[in-house]
């Protein structure tokens, strides 16, 4: 069933670094929500249209206690605006940093090997190897290639990128893109290079 509402996204810090949590405010109630799109958004409030599949009670650990809350699974979540409005529920105890469970989908990777001085490098320091047609492609052992796989060449060429939430590296990919001059266009669910 489709509903109009607001998605409130808050950035919090966890043991593996920053991540986002969200509440979905619909005309039928307020719900906790986990969705791959949430990790790509900046903190704030977004107008959304949500196709609700299931409403259930979710329980999560928080500081040695257990919190139960209404949660929602969605078939689809469409962001209606690329501009986030400022969050107004900073005092919401369920959005407080100490009361959220960090997703355990990622384990820190070992540091990337340092490239030698005589190998060509991209602006971010990753190795490049020329192809037969003169284009550069990332070295398969570079940080960018390990992080983005088949998308690495598009990232290094500063082309639009759509992330795959199934990769298990979403938070690291988002952090890399933000740090390297990309912004998320939430209405199209795509990362675009910032043109200055």
**CATH numbers and ranges of domains, the chain:** 2-83 (2.40.50), 128-193 (no CATH)
The model's confidence at residue 14, banded by pLDDT at 50, 70 and 90, is confident
pLDDT(125) > 50: no
pLDDT(196) > 80: no
Global pTM reads 0.65
128 beta partners: 138
Listed in sequence order, the residues at least 6 apart from 112 whose beta carbon sits closer than 8 Å to its beta carbon are: 126, 142, 143, 146
Q: What is the pLDDT of residues 131-173, one digit of tens each?
A: 334 355 667 668 888 999 999 999 999 999 999 888 888 889 9
- State the pLDDT at residue 104: 44
Mean predicted confidence (pLDDT) in 107-129:
39
CB burial of 88-110 (b: ≥16 within 10 Å; e: otherwise) equals eeeeeebbeeebbebeeeeeeee
- State the pLDDT at residue 64: 86
pLDDT(182) > 80: yes
């Amino acid at each position: 069933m489709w509903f109009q509402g607001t998605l409130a996204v808050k950035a919090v810090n966890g043991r593996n670094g920053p991540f986002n949590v969200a509440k979905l405010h619909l005309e039928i109630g307020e719900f906790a929500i986990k969705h791959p799109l949430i990790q790509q958004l900046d903190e704030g409030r977004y107008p959304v249209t949500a196709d609700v599949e299931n409403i259930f009670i979710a329980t999560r650990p928080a500081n040695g206690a257990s919190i139960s809350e209404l949660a929602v699974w969605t078939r689809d979540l469409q962001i209606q605006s690329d501009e986030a409005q400022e969050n107004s529920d900073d005092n919401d105890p369920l959005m407080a940093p100490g009361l959220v469970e960090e997703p355990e989908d990622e384990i820190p990777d070992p540091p990337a090997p340092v490239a030698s001085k005589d190998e060509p490098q991209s602006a971010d320091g990753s190795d490049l190897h020329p192809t037969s047609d003169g284009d550069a492609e990332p070295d398969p052992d570079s940080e960018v290639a390990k992080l983005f796989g088949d998308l690495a060449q598009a990232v290094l060429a500063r082309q639009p990128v759509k992330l795959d939430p199934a990769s298990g590296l979403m938070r690291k990919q988002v952090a890399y893109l933000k740090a390297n001059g990309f912004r998320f266009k939430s209405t199209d669910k795509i990362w675009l290079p910032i043109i200055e």
